[in-house]
Amino acid sequence: MDLWPAIDLRGGRCVRLLQGDYDRETVFADDPVEQVRRFVDQGARRLHVVDLDGAKSGSPVQAELIARMVRAAGVPCQLGGGIRSLDTARAYADAGVSRLVVGSVAIEQPELLAAMAAALPGRIVLGLDARDGRVAVRGWVDTSPLLAIDVARRSEHLPLAGVVYTDIATDGMLSGPNLVALGEMVEGVRLPIVASGGIAVADDLRRVAAIGAEGCIVGRALYDGGLTLAAALAACGESA
């Protein structure tokens, strides 16, 4: 299973939010580029980056910083947050971002998601952030009436790289992943699923892998010290 260490950006710093709440922020590093190097030096084979400011505003906020992070990484980087136009997606792709996570657009403008996937086949990822099974949009500020699994199913025909499925209730809580909801996504959707939310210990990763997820994003546990990157890599079947 692919391990995606997460770097969430807000105000130029590396932070984590509890359940996507912008008022419950913890700063873990003042220099995101240095955090990139730290993860890669420890054996990370890929990185997941989120522009939290972009997710909330709807447009790129930290593009220059992200470009520097991608250059420093030297490994594939997946980016989400504020990618709501084809021009933005292309600009990030040109800057070296390997995979682009698109969330709000998939709900509000499904035709634009299709256009992005056609223009950048195999590089667009459908980002589904679910609160009680329903998709949250615009930096998790609003919740739509649509079920995440239904949105994923209607997107199966597109040339997507996969789906990042985040369970908001567990995100940043170190409470373990929502394996029931994740299992429904893996079994019910014909796209590779990357899980996000709740990972606290290595056994959580093993359980996610056993369900059949293609990958898993891990954030807070790696920063709090409860899970080392080496242990996470080993649990995913990757070596540092």
Q: Is the pLDDT of residue 199 over 60?
A: yes
Contact 230, 42 (CB under 8 A): yes
Q: What is the dihedral of CA 130, 49, 76, 157, to 10 degrees?
A: 30
* The one catalytic residue among 2, 51, 53, 129: 129
Q: Is the pLDDT of residue 139 over 60?
A: no
* The one catalytic residue among 8, 51, 167, 171: 8
Q: Which residues, including other chains, have CB under 8 Å from residue 65's CB and lie 6 or more apart?
A: 9, 12, 32, 33
Q: What is the pTM of this model?
A: 0.94
SS3 state of residue 146: strand
- What one-letter code names the amino acid at 9? L
- Give how far Cα 98 sits from Cα of 41, 79, 80, 114, Å: 19, 8, 11, 18
Tell me whether residue 94 is one of the annotated catalytic residues: no
Average pLDDT, the chain: 94
Q: Is the pLDDT of residue 172 over 80?
A: no
Question: What is the model's pLDDT at position 210?
Answer: 98
Tell me whether residue 204 is one of the annotated catalytic residues: no
Q: What confidence tens digit (pLDDT) does each residue in 27-81 have?
A: 999 999 999 999 999 999 999 999 999 988 889 999 999 999 999 999 999 999 9
In order of start, what are the domains of the chain with their CATH numbers?
A: 2-235 (3.20.20.70)
Instruction: Find the helix or strand (DSSP H, E) in which 70 lies.
Output: helix 63-73
Per cent of the chain over pLDDT 70 is: 98
Q: What confidence tens digit (pLDDT) does each residue in 78-136 have?
A: 999 999 999 999 999 999 999 999 998 888 899 999 999 999 999 999 999 999 899 98
